[in-house]
Structure formats: C-alpha cells, structure tokens
Structure 1
Amino acid sequence: MKTIKHSAMKIGATIALILLNPLSHAKDQHDSKPHEAANEAIIRQAFENWQQGRGNFFDLLSEDAKWTIVGSSPISGTYRSRQELIEHSVIPINDRLSSSITPHVRHIIAEGSIVVVFWDGSATTLDGNRYDNNYAWHMIMEDGEIKEVTAFLDTWQLTKLLE
C-alpha cells in the first residue's frame, strides 16, 4: 500500500512538473512571437493606409468574419459576414458623413492570434458637425485575415450620428 501511494505521488509530481514547467511555457510564448509580430504589422499597416486614405481596412476581414458591435446603438449586434457588416453598419455610418472617419491609433497589443487596437476616430458629418469617437477593437486573426472582432465604442455618439 505504501509503495502504491509513493508511486502515485511520484506520478502526480511528474505531471505537475510537466504542466507547470516554465521552459515549456516560455517555448510556447517564444513560438508565438513571430506570429504576433506579423499580426501586429498587418493591422498597423492597415490603419496607416486607412489614415492616409489608401485601401480599405475591411478588406482584411475574411468573408465569414464575425463582427460584434457592443452596446445599444441602432447598429449594435453581431454580423456574421463581411458583406453583412458593410451593408448594415459601414454603409449607414458612411452615408451620414461628408468625410471618411480618420483613425488615430493610440495603442496596439498583439498576443498570439489576438490583436487589440485602441484608437480614436474623427470625421465631419453631412451637416458640418464633428463626429468623434473612441474605439477598442479586439480582433482574432488567422492566416493574415481577421476572423472575429468585438468592437467597443461610445454608442451614444454613434446613435446621435445615425439619428
């Protein structure tokens, strides 16, 4: 009985060491660094292009991307494709602006397949007023495309724009 207990303790200790081995964790983190850097570079370049009026950020979305706009604005909810997002969110917003939203990135954080961008956007509305908002986009990337986004923003400002 004592031998069985001793063997079970040894096995348990070995499993714990394998699971908690800092070298294994460090290897996983090291392996994801190039992936993180690539994802961050893709997103950073897309925002720079957007800011300079080149390209379309939404081209990075996969066809079946899932995009969730949090809050209670008229366009808050989850969209199940790039086309659905563009038709029901991007176009209605752009239709109320006389200039495109210009992004000003504050910070980008990448970890594995996740990229988070904190940014400010500004534009001029059709009636000549300013539209200013703050955004945090939590994006999940796969093979250089955005597969999923959760967009946090001031939905009160968005609601005022869409009224």
Structure 2
Amino acid sequence: MEDAQGLARRFGELLAQLRFPEAFELLADDGIYTVIGTTPASGVYHGPKDLIARLVPLLSDFVEPPAVRFEEPIVQGDRAVLLGSGRGVGPTGPYDQPYYAFVMRAAGGRLVEVIEFMDTMMLQSAVFGEQAAH
C-alpha cells in the first residue's frame, strides 16, 4: 500500500507526463478534489470518475500542453504538499503557472483529499478566454 509520499510523487510524475486520467485515478472513489477559485474548472469533484468526466475535457484543448515540473513532495504523516510550475499555450492564450501547490491527504493507499492551488486568472485567460478587469 502506497503512503502519502509515494502517492504524491506518483501523482506529480503522471501530471508531468500529461497522463491526467491516470493521475486522477489515484483519488479514492469517495475522495474529494477541489480546484480553488471561481473559474469554470473550479469547484469540488467527487471521486475519480467525476474528476475525469468534468475536468479532463477542460484540459484537452491546449494548443501546447503545459510542461509541468514538480519538486520533491513535502510530507508529514498522511499529508503531502506537492509544489510545481507549468507553462504552455491554452486555447485562448499563453499559460504560465509559476506556482502550483497540491495539498493532499492519503488513506488506505489512495488520495482521499486534494486541493489544487494556482493562479486562477491565468487559467481563466488561457483556457476560457476571459481577462481580469483592471
């Protein structure tokens, strides 16, 4: 059974390889995945099937899929934090995320909670075509 460090490391490796469905399958069936903010991608997803059905299609239209890199996970007990960055070209503009943070909790060899933090305005402008008001 994989612990928090192994799950976080594998999650990051799969995301870096753009293997989103496989990464999201690490979430327990009753796990919760939250994308912060108020973008069309933001919200709470329940289990891997919901995540794959609703979030993966939003990630499939990139002109240049983001090249994502992650640092070694920070782990304490059943919790892990995975820091990273990504750069690509979305369907409506450049996508430059200098800081991602995934805060995770593991139990029973699966991820039971993931909260994804990022610059949501960058996501909004690169993927959904809306600019921030100044």
TM-score range, shorter chain: 0.7 to 0.9
Preserved contact between residue 109 and residue 117 of structure 1 (Cα < 8 Å): yes
TM-score normalised by structure 1 residue count: 0.65
**How large is the Cα RMSD of the aligned pairs?**
2.5
Quote the sequence identity (%): 27
1:72 to 38, 51, 69: 38
How many residues align? The count is 126
TM-score normalised by structure 2 residue count: 0.77
CA separation in 1, counterparts of 2:33 and 2:87? Answer: 21
Preserved contact between residue 8 and residue 104 of structure 2 (Cα < 8 Å): no
Change (3 A) 1:53 1:71: closer
More strand as a share of residues:
2
Secondary structure of 1:100's match?
A: strand
Structure 1 portions without partners, runs of 5+: 1-34
Secondary structure of 2:104's match?
A: strand
Which has more radius of gyration?
A: 1
The residue that corresponds to 1:100 in the other structure is 65
Q: CA deviation at 1:49?
A: 4.3
Change (3 A) 1:75 1:146: same
Structure 2 portions without partners, runs of 5+: 130-134
Q: CA deviation at 1:87?
A: 2.0
Q: CA deviation at 1:157?
A: 0.8
More helix as a share of residues:
1
